[in-house]
A and B are shown apart, each in its own frame.
Chain A
Amino acid sequence: MREEKPSLKIRVRYPYYTVNVKKGYYMDSIQLLKISEEVKKVPGVLEALIAMGTDTNKELLKMLGFSYEDLNVTPNDLIIAIGAESEDALKNAVNTAERLLEEGVGETREYYADLDTALSKNPDISIALISIPGQYVKDVAMKLIDRGINLHIFSDNVPVNDEIEIKKRALEKNVLVLGPGAGTVIIKGVGLGFANKVNVGSVGIVAASGTGLQEVSSLLSEIGIGISYGLGVGGNDVKNAIGGIMTIKALEFLQNDDDTKVLALISKVPDRETEEKILNYIYNNISKPIIINFLGGHARESAKGNVYFTYTLHQTILKITKVISENKYVEARNKYLLSFDELIRLADELKRELSGSQRFIRGLFTGGSFVNETLVILRELVNDLYSNAPIEGVAELKNPFKSMANSIIDLGDEVFTRGRPHPMIDPTIRVNRLLEEANYDDVAVILMDFVLGYGSHDDPVGAHADAIKHIMESSKGKKIIIAHVCGTSEDPQNVAEQVNKLRSLGVIVMPTNALAAFLAGLIVTNKSIEKLKYVYDGLIEV
C-alpha cells in the first residue's frame, strides 16, 4: 500500500518562542496540562506545552510547530515550550509558567505528603486508586496489599514481572487487585478512574476492557438497569503471563455477592490457555446468568444454559436486557437499535454527498474497546483495514502517527500517552490528528468516540468544536463525521447536551459505537446487500 501524503501539513511558526528543559523535575501530567492551559491564557501567547520529556511529548512538540535543535531531554526532565506574538508576551508567559510550577494549580486543600502517614491516620481504607508512573507501582502496591487493602491500579506501563509479583501477593492476602491498566471501576454507584454516573442495580460486570465497561454500564443505566459492581481488571490479566488471576477472583466476588443477579464478562480476546481457564472456571463455578463478550474472538457454542456469548458490546447490552426481562429488551431495542433498512437508507443518503475519490474511513478513538468493537465490524465490511491495536484479520499500522487506507487509531495507546494525560482528559493530540486526517482527499468518513463521566474532560465535544467546524466548512460538507457519545444523563457533562452539540456541528451521532462503525462501513463498502445483512444479523442483532 502506498503511503498517502496530506495536502496541507499542520505546521505553525511562532514570531517568538522558547523551548527550555528543567532537568530532573517531576510533576504529574494533569497538573502540567492545567499549567499549560493557564499559560495559554496569558495575552499574546499562541501555544504552550509544559510537559515531561517523553517521546510522545517530543512528537507533540513537533506537531505543534516548535522547532528545536537536538533536545537533550529524558522522561525525567520537564519541557517548557511557549510560542508568542511578542517578546513581552513570551516573557510574561515564562514567568507565569515558573510561578505555577512552584505554586501548583491543584484544588486539593488537604493531602498527605507520604503514604505511611496517610495509612497510619486512616486505618479503614476499602480500596486504593493508584495512578503513578508504572515503574513505581510495585513498591506502593505491596505496602497496601500487606495491609489488606484492595487496589485499583489505573497506571499503565507496570513491568509484567511486577504485575505477577503484585497479584501473587494479593492472592496470599486475599485482596482484589484491579489493574494495572484498569481505566474503570464502579462500586455501588461510585466511579473510580474513568467511570460514568450509573444507577445501582443487579448487574455485575468484570471487564478487561475499560471503555467496554463504560459503554455497557452507561447504556444499561440509561434504560433503568443498574450496576452492582463494575470491576475493570486491566488488559494484561487475560494474558498467559498472568493467567486471568484477578478476572477469576472478580467473578468469584460477584457470584458470592447477593445484590448481583446477572453477570457480564467483557474482555479483549484472552490468550488461548487463559481463555480456557476462565471458561472452565465459569462453567464449574458460576451459577448466575453470565453474558461473555470476548471482543474480536471466535464464535463459541455455550456448553451450559446460563452462559451466553456475544460478539460486540452492542449485542452484550441487548442480551443482558433479554435475560433480565422482555420489557427491558424491547426498551433497549427501541432506544439503541436501528433496523437494517434504516441504516442502508441513511448510508445511501450520506453517500450522495461524496466525491468519487472519497473511499476510506479514519477512526480516531480515545477508548481501546471502541477500537476493538469497530474492527470486529469493519473487518467484515472493508478491505485494507489497519490499526495500531489490530485484532485477528486486521493489519498492523506500523507507524501509529500516520494513517493508511482504512485506519482505526487507538489514541489511548501508550505510544500517545507517555508523559501525557489520556486523550479522554486532554484532546490536544486528537484535535491535531483530526485536522490532519480531514486533509486527505480520499477520506470519506471520520469515526470518533466521545467518552463522558468522571475523570474525562469537562466538555469533550466543545474541545473538538473548532476543529469540526473548520473541517465542515473547508470540505463544504463533503467529509462525513460519525460519532458515538458514551455517557449518561447523570454524568457531569450530560450525554444529551454533548449529543446536541455534535449534531449542531453537522456530526452524525449513533446510539451505540457498534452502529456508528456499521454505518461507516456501509458508506464505503462494496459488499453485496446479502453479505451486509448477514453481518448485521451476526454482529448487531440479538
Chain B
Amino acid sequence: MDKRIYKLKVNDKNELNILNIGLEIFYNDLRKQGVNAIHVAWKPPVKLEKDIEDILSKVM
C-alpha cells in the first residue's frame, strides 16, 4: 500500500496527527479524544477589487 494513504493507519504509539481547519468545535472534540491535533483559525481571504487584481497579475 502506498505510504501516504498508509499514514491513515494508527501506529503502536497511537499516533494520528490531525490538522483541523475551520470549525473550532471539531478541534476541541479531537483534543477531548486525546488525539494529536492542531487548529488553523481560518479567515476568508481579503477580496481585492477586480481591477487591482488585474493590475497585480500583470505586474507579478
Residues A174 and B30 in contact in the complex (CB < 8 Å), given A115-B40, A126-B16, A127-B18: no
| Cβ of B48 to closest chain A Cβ, rounded Å | 13
- Of all chain B residues, which has the CB nearest A31? B24
Across the interface, which residues of A come within 8 angstroms of B20, CB to CB? 128-129, 131
Q: Give the A interface residue count (CB, 8 A).
A: 55
Q: Is the CB of B19 within 8 A of A191?
A: no
Interface-forming stretch among A38-46, A148-156, A429-437?
Answer: A148-156
B33 beta carbon closer than 8 Å to chain A: yes
Q: Name the residue of chain B whose CB is nearest to the CB of A76.
A: B44
Q: Mark A129-151, 1 if CB is under 8 A from B, else 0.
A: 11111001000100010001110
Task: Count contacts between A and B, CB distance < 8 Å.
Answer: 142
> Using an 8 Å CB-CB cutoff, how does the interface string of B17-36 with A read, 1 for contact, 0 for none?
11111111111111011010
Judging by beta carbons under 8 Å apart, are A111 and B29 in contact?
Answer: no
Bound together, the chains give a CA A186 to CA B8 distance in angstroms of 11
Is A150 a contact of B4 with CB atoms below 8 Å? yes
CB pair A454–B21 under 8 Å, yes or no, is: no
Which residues from A are CB-within-8-Å of B2? 174
A504 touches B (CB below 8 Å):
no
Whole-angstrom CA separation of A130 from B27 in the bound complex: 11
Find chain A residues with CB under 8 A from B5 CB. 150, 174-176, 253
Q: Chain B residues with Cβ under 8 A from A175's Cβ?
A: 4-5
A131 x B4 contact (CB < 8 A): no
Residues in A whose Cβ lies below 8 Å from that of B27 = 108, 111
How close is A419's CB to chain B, nearest CB, in angstroms?
A: 13
Determine if A190 and B35 form an interchain contact, defined as CB atoms under 8 angstroms apart. Answer: yes
**A187-B8 in contact (CB<8A):** yes
Instruction: Answer yes or no: A280 CB below 8 A from chain B CBs.
Output: no
Chain B residues in 8 Å Cβ range of A131: 20-23, 26
Query: With the chains together, A191 CA to B1 CA distance in Å?
Result: 23
Q: Is A125 an interface residue (CB 8 A)?
A: yes
A8: interface (CB < 8 Å) = no
Nearest 10 interchain pairs by C-beta: A131-B22, A454-B29, A131-B23, A111-B39, A132-B22, A148-B4, A128-B19, A188-B10, A174-B2, A126-B7
Measured CB to CB, the residues of A under 8 A from B are: 26, 28-31, 76, 106-108, 110-115, 118-119, 122, 124-133, 136, 140, 144, 148-150, 154-155, 173-176, 187-188, 190-193, 197, 229, 253, 256-257, 425, 454-455, 492
* Additional pairs, 12, CB under 8 Å, beyond known A108-B39, A190-B33: A26-B44, A122-B38, A126-B7, A136-B44, A140-B21, A148-B4, A154-B22, A175-B4, A190-B18, A229-B8, A425-B25, A455-B26
In the complex, 13 of the A-B residue pairs with CB atoms within 8 angstroms, ordered by the A residue number, are A115-B40, A119-B19, A126-B18, A129-B18, A129-B20, A130-B21, A136-B44, A148-B4, A174-B4, A188-B10, A190-B16, A253-B1, A253-B5
